[in-house]
Structure 1
Amino acid sequence: MDRSKDGAPEGSVIAGVATGSDFLQLRIGAAPAGGRAEWLAGELRRAIADGRLPVGSRLPATRVLAADLRVSRGLVTEAYQRLREDGQVAGRGRGGTVVVAAPMVAAAGPSPAPAPDPPSAPFAAPPARDVFDALRAAPARIDLTPGVPDLASFPRAAWRRAERAVLTGLPAAALGYGDPRGTPELRRAVVHWLARNRGIRADPADVLVVAGTTQALALLTQVLRRDGSTDIAVEDPGSLGVRQHLQYWGAATPPVPVDADGLRVDALRASGARAVLLTPAHQFPTGVVLGGARRRELLRWATACDGLVIEDDYDAEHRYDRPPVPALHSLLPDQVCYVGSVSKLLAPALRVGWLLAPPRHREALVDAKRFADLGNAALPQLVLAHLMASGELERLIRQLRRRHRARRDAVVAAVRSHLPTATVHGAAAGLHLTITFPSTAPPDAALAAAALARGVKVHPLSWHGQRPYGRPGLVLGYAARAPGELTEGVAVLGEVLRGG
């Protein structure tokens, strides 16, 4: 019952174009004469078997595939019917014809499944480039990973309202390629946001919108390397993830010690580096604030050697027991490159941040952004700008501060109860705190591995140092967990430390 479309032989070349379909790259000309329906059914069976048509996927409508192949609709219908009789596809009314079962493929021989990595695998060796991917993939009942905001608090309703408002008034031209620096709306909103919350005075033309802090660091590293600067000094201890990104893009990262007043500028001067990356408002991971005398000394260093200070202001909006700390950029904008993002405010998945660079680097950074990706996606920028301008984001931060303070208090109380020999650092602000133990305690990587084996995920402090810190410690994020979970997680850490 192989029927062909009237007026044209199936599988022929019509008007100089070979008949075929983009769907599975089907070419009806390869089918044997008189057996085209069986050939088509066989091609579909092979696609289902090898995974090109997985269970749940929908086949094209019979009239669409028939038109593509220049054959009669009855031929395609017949091929689909053969698959229905085999039980591999089923009709779903308006949902079309759907793949419902794949054939069993005989294995060439027994092939045992690879043994899964043990839960402690991320801590089994010095951290590799993919260590954070491995740690995220490791299952845990209580995840105390630092740097993660309360994702359940993402303002979905406010985001939907803002998205509707943006789309309602959005001209068609705004859907084209835009300014690689970012949309004017978001750059204006960022300027006003920084003026209100961080004391920074800037112009929208000074703002470069980037895909998070990590892209800002990538662009900066590339620009500095082209200028002949290959060293970017970093705090020690300091963020392992940040250090990995700098090193990936070719920067050397000489370590500069951090003490109770923050980065030691004398050690920075001795390093010979002309650029330094630091977290002055809430140092990661120790939580110390760069003191006033150190700030003045740092700015004198930058002025004297024409150095560049890269200010990572990653969580400055989250503070509980102390007044806000002015941004370094507000004091010396010609020597300070300011980096911020919404990863700790809303969600890392948005991949939106901003970079305010000194004039001498601005044009090169815009070029680097242009040739990296032509600019961030415009729609999320416009929605975020609406949230910032409407005051919705500030209302959210006020709510989050109350919630985070309660969670911070729960962690501190649990540490005092279950880890009485531990010292708490950096609890006055941020989304994490660090605890250190006496030098007689086990290595912190071993503690983190044992905690993960019991379902609690933390960072060992030693991950974040290039040199020995002196005491073992753990870095605990608390923003994303309820107080009861935090207490339970710290109790598990107490059991691990006692060897129970």
Structure 2
Amino acid sequence: MTSSGTNPEGLPGSAAWELLLPAASAPARARGRTLQAALREAMRTGRLAPGTRLPSSRDLARDLGVSRGLVTEAYEQLTAEGYLRSDRGAGTWVGGAVRAASPRARDLAPRPAGVAGVRVDFVPGSPDLSLFPRAAWAAAQREVLAELPHRDLGYPDPRGLPRLRSALAELLARRRGVAADPERIVVVSGVAQASALLGSVLHARGLREIGVEDPGSPQHDGLYEAAGTRAIPLPLDDEGLALRPLRASGVRAVVTTPAHQYPTGIAYSADRRAQLLDWARSVDGLLLEDDYDGDFRYDRAPVGALQGLDPEHVAYAGSVSKSLAPGLRLGWLLVPESLADEVVDRKRTMDLGHPSLDQAVFARFVARGDYDRQLRRCQRAYRERRDALVAALGEHFPHARVSGIAAGLHAIAELPEGYGPENRFVGRVAAAGVAVRPLGECAHARGDDAVVRLVLGYAHLPPARIREGVRLMAEAVAG
């Protein structure tokens, strides 16, 4: 085929050309209809944009191997329908009235606050994204882009850039009491990928069941079950994971949140932590420590990570999702030496390593002291918001029992008798524009629906909005 004599912006030089090829091979009687339909489709979908000049009828007929009269008839018909416009002596153009039905990409990001009618969103899980240190992060980016060796833009070590693993080892040892060997740190895209890596490695080793806290994060169930490992719910008591059900379950790996259990907010007692480690040693098992908000403790020093007490029986995972932003998809996994090679191999086959540029920027951000400053900034803001929530609950629900407030980004509010059943309470406050998460949604089996227990996230809300939300809840259920 040729395109001689056609404007370089015309049809033969565009991707829409392929749409017209069926017209050339169609039966003789159907060629006109086929050509018209192909041109309409090209204009409707935007492959021929408004203002595009089409080839002359002579040129298009020659390129398609059809009669000129057939092309002329198609142009005249589409001009009559408004798809094309023709200026005498100037050619034929796609009309400006054509509006291509451009497909739109849907946004499936979890944003409850964006739901119509929600005025205050207490659903936990997100930090205050407005606290992201844009200026400091941009400065680190500029420095990295100016200095990064070309070789560091190639495929990275699947464990992560050495400079970041070294920076993380120092940071985690200093802030969380972790026994951090940079050679056993794997940089991952958040705790979700850390869980998927561990789940697949454990499954490959023959483990088909893994214990999860009950109540606990629903995410843990889905992540490990996706790796082929069935989640076994294990109950809690006042000190942490209950030992008797754990021993009776027969599992050899358990996911825990010992620094600030999600969602109850309790910190595992020293005795329970020691007992869990004894259990892991006795069954040659593994504790998978999700330290999702271990840096945020307000009234006393943070509880050290469980991993620091026995790094050969504890895998430790954390991320910047609460301290910086979940959209960075940046985290870390420390693994026992016995699992290191298998986890690294699985990471390599999964994605060939985390993006090098993001790693280099975060390494610089940590080395400059910006990450420590960010954590201090967040702690001040979140402590103020926690205090605002506790004060507002004390004012509007004076007999409520509030727990889990020593650390983290959420609190548990157990309301006194008379506010239940829970589903009615949640429905009433939702009608008033307040989104809340019942504690029962985090449990594998529903508890007493007559008692209202709420998991209230506060980190992403300014104090004034927190007070407004609690007031709206109280007004919605008054009387």
Is TM (by shorter chain) over 0.5? yes
Distance, in Å, in 2 between the alignment partners of 1:246 and 1:356 is 18
1:484 aligns with 2:464: yes
1:169 aligns with 2:152: no
**Pairing of 1:7-406 with structure 2 (within 5 A):** 23-24=15-16, 26=18, 45-49=40-44, 51-52=45-46, 102-103=98-99, 133=110, 135=112, 138-139=115-116, 140-406=118-384
**Pairing of 1:460-499 with structure 2 (within 5 A):** 460-470=438-448, 471-498=451-478
Q: Which amino acid aligns with 2:473?
A: L
Q: Is the 8 A contact 1:20 1:28 kept in 2?
A: no
Q: 1:382 to 1:436 in 2, by over 3 A?
A: same
Q: Is the 8 A contact 2:50 2:94 kept in 1?
A: yes
Shift of 1:484: 0.7
Q: Which moved more, 1:280-289 or 1:176-185?
A: 176-185
Q: Which amino acid aligns with 1:345?
A: S
Long gaps (5+) in structure 2: 25-33, 56-61, 64-74, 86-92, 102-107
Distance, in Å, in 1 between the alignment partners of 2:51 and 2:280 is 64
Distance, in Å, in 1 between the alignment partners of 2:95 and 2:478 is 55
Distance, in Å, in 2 between the alignment partners of 1:248 and 1:407 is 36
Q: Is the 8 A contact 2:255 2:289 kept in 1?
A: yes
SS in 1 for 2:408: coil
Q: Is the 8 A contact 1:145 1:477 kept in 2?
A: yes
Q: Which moved more, 1:21-30 or 1:336-345?
A: 21-30
Q: Is the 8 A contact 1:239 1:285 kept in 2?
A: yes
Distance, in Å, in 2 between the alignment partners of 1:58 and 1:326 is 64
Deviations 1:163-201 (A, max 9, x none): 111111122222222222222222122111101211123
Q: Is the 8 A contact 2:323 2:378 kept in 1?
A: no
Q: Larger C-alpha radius of gyration, 1 or 2?
A: 2
Q: Which amino acid aligns with 1:23?
A: A
Distance, in Å, in 1 between the alignment partners of 2:94 and 2:150 is 36
SS in 2 for 1:424: strand
Give the number of equivalent residue pairs.
439
How much identity, in percent, do the aligned residues show? 43
Q: State the TM-score, normalized to the length of structure 1.
A: 0.78
- Which of 450, 454, 457 does residue 432 from structure 2 map onto? 454
Shift of 1:375: 1.6
Q: Which amino acid aligns with 2:158?
A: P
Shift of 1:253: 2.1
Q: Is the 8 A contact 1:444 1:462 kept in 2?
A: no
Q: 1:141 to 1:363 in 2, by over 3 A?
A: same
Q: Which amino acid aligns with 1:402?
A: R
What residue in structure 1 maps to residue 89 of structure 2?
none
Q: 1:58 to 1:489 in 2, by over 3 A?
A: farther
Root-mean-square deviation over aligned CA pairs: 3.8
Shift of 1:320: 0.7
Q: Which amino acid aligns with 1:26?
A: E
Long gaps (5+) in structure 1: 12-18, 33-38, 64-69, 72-78, 90-96, 106-130
Q: Which amino acid aligns with 1:47?
A: A
Distance, in Å, in 2 between the alignment partners of 1:331 and 1:207 is 17
Distance, in Å, in 2 between the alignment partners of 1:185 and 1:206 is 14
Distance, in Å, in 2 between the alignment partners of 1:177 and 1:61 is 45
1:429 aligns with 2:424: no
Q: Which amino acid aligns with 2:382?
A: H
Q: Is the 8 A contact 1:462 1:469 kept in 2?
A: yes
Shift of 1:48: 4.0
Shift of 1:137: 5.8
Shift of 1:413: 0.5
Q: Is the 8 A contact 1:145 1:476 kept in 2?
A: yes
Q: Which amino acid aligns with 2:132?
A: F
Q: 1:136 to 1:374 in 2, by over 3 A?
A: farther
Distance, in Å, in 1 between the alignment partners of 2:129 and 2:371 is 15
Deviations 1:318-374 (A, max 9, x none): 111121101111110000000001101111111111111111111111122122211
SS in 1 for 2:455: strand
Q: Is the 8 A contact 2:415 2:453 kept in 1?
A: yes
Q: Is the 8 A contact 2:209 2:232 kept in 1?
A: yes
What residue in structure 1 maps to residue 398 of structure 2?
420
Distance, in Å, in 1 between the alignment partners of 2:470 and 2:181 is 46
Q: Is the 8 A contact 2:112 2:121 kept in 1?
A: no
Shift of 1:31: 7.1
Q: Which amino acid aligns with 1:5?
A: S
Shift of 1:228: 1.5
Q: Is the 8 A contact 1:340 1:355 kept in 2?
A: yes
Deviations 1:445-467 (A, max 9, x none): 44333322322122111011113
Q: Which amino acid aligns with 2:115?
A: A
